[in-house]
Amino acid sequence: MIKGFQTAFGIPELRRRILFTLGILIVYLLGGHIPAAGIDGAALGLFFSQQRGTILGLYDMFVGGNLSKATIFALGIMPYISASIILQLLTAVIPYFEKLKKEGEEGRRKINQYTRYGTVLVAVIQSYGISIFLESMRTGGGMPIVPSPGWGFRLLSVLTLTSGTILVMWLGEQITEKGIGNGISLIITIGIVARYPGEFLTTLSSVRAGTFTPFQAIFLMLIMVSVTGLVVLTTQGTRKIPVQYAKRIVGRKIYGGHSTFIPLRVNTAGVIPVIFAQSLIMFPRTLATTFFPGSSLMEGIASSMEPGAVVYAVLYSGLIIFFAYFYTAIVFNPVDLADNMKRQGAFIPGKRPGKPTSEFIDRVLTRITLPGAVFLAFIALLPDILIYRMNAPVYFGGTGLLIVVGVVLDTLQQIESHLLMRHYDTFMKKGRIRGRV
């Protein structure tokens, strides 16, 4: 692997792309230390220390802690992600967007432009909502988070946070265009990874203090390595359906007749089911702690949804499995795939073209999605198992692990593609990272 990195930096174009990507990520991290105006950062940090396990805590994780630190990147790239998901859902129900999706590169550019417009709209709405929310918040000691509330603070917050989101979106697009890897995904990943050194120091402090034994630390390390390996296998896992192309004779030439396969991923939906399930499962607790702090009914519902409770585990797992099937049905259409194969003269051996082919693909996809969804539920519940059952001082697993592993695999696969184009060895001599289709 070390030789692979040396080779990668020995290629001028690839070295330039890698250094450009690192430079943009450093700019993003530096921007995460510029505070927004009109907010008491100390009071906000104290407030967010009480919000772990709520939607606000989840959002803060995705933006790399910028929301709890009240920086200009407090919204991060999440408005862009929200706009992208909304556009994907609209593609499945509105014929215009579905037509754009099928128009190739031109349609993709239009969808990207609509996504940018949607990002600005979502950022304006979210930043205004956050400004109103911050004005009404008090810490446990009654300290106001916004010392000088009013329309001046609201307009300034909308302008600052929306501009920060647009800048982050532009940085991500620059990485995708001129760097290496998917820029938006890398920005989310670097925000998550930036917390790992602090988690490591916390674990080390617990070992030195005697609250966490060295044996437990070694056992936790083994769990981390094993689970990470399983996440890689699941992320890369595919079910290959063989496809045969019929022979066509045009003049004196014979076309087609070759074989290929359709790679159906075990985890087609990616990390989206976990995000959706987390948002729903954290909603009651967010209402109880933020909007109805004195309601006994909401407190009772929220206590049953606490991490570590049986109701929480069962409901959380069920939501993840449901959204895994739901989102897979949105992003993968077996009927369109079967129709495209029929037009191109391709068929699955033993299956007639058309409806029988689509039914077969749908049946296979339904079967392989179940183990992928169950594994997603296990990864999502892993932090609760480690923290509440093993008293581990580190938060490991969940959405962050899935995102980091997926993005790192994508980035390494792109680097290896550049190396292969220039006839260099890849990072791994005994195996290669398969492209995630």
Structural domains in the chain, sorted by start = 1-194 (1.10.3370.10), 209-396 (1.10.3370.10)
> For residue 51, what pLDDT is reported?
57
The mean per-residue pLDDT over the stretch 216-229 comes to 84
Q: How large a percentage of the chain has pLDDT more than 70?
A: 76
> For residue 254, what pLDDT is reported?
63
Most confident of 23-32, 37-46, 308-317: 23-32
Distance, in Å, from the CA atom of 173 to the CA atom of 175, rounded to the nearest integer, reads 5
Task: Look up residue 27 and give its two tokens.
Answer: 């700019």
Instruction: Please check the confidence at residue 434 and state whether its pLDDT lies above 60.
Output: no
Instruction: Please check the confidence at residue 37 and state whether its pLDDT lies above 80.
Output: no
> For residue 101, what pLDDT is reported?
77
In single-letter form, the type of residue at position 7 comes to T
Confidence of residue 437 (pLDDT cuts 50, 70, 90): very low
Instruction: Please check the confidence at residue 179 and state whether its pLDDT lies above 50.
Output: yes
Confidence of residue 312 (pLDDT cuts 50, 70, 90): confident
Lowest mean pLDDT of 205-219, 279-293, 389-403, name the range: 279-293
Instruction: Please check the confidence at residue 350 and state whether its pLDDT lies above 50.
Output: yes
Contact 121, 32 (CB under 8 A): no
CA torsion 193→400→123→170, rounded to 10°? 50
Instruction: Please check the confidence at residue 378 and state whether its pLDDT lies above 70.
Output: yes
Instruction: Please check the confidence at residue 432 and state whether its pLDDT lies above 60.
Output: no
Lowest mean pLDDT of 26-40, 228-242, 339-353, 386-400, name the range: 386-400
The mean per-residue pLDDT over the stretch 97-107 comes to 79
> For residue 308, what pLDDT is reported?
67
> For residue 82, what pLDDT is reported?
81
The mean per-residue pLDDT over the stretch 9-37 comes to 84
Most confident of 25-29, 80-84, 328-332: 25-29
- Classify residue 62 by burial, with Cβ atoms within 10 Å: 0-12, 13-18, 19+: buried
> For residue 436, what pLDDT is reported?
44
For residues 194 and 375, the model is more confident at: 375
Instruction: Please check the confidence at residue 346 and state whether its pLDDT lies above 70.
Output: yes
Contact 409, 436 (CB under 8 A): yes
Instruction: Please check the confidence at residue 269 and state whether its pLDDT lies above 70.
Output: yes
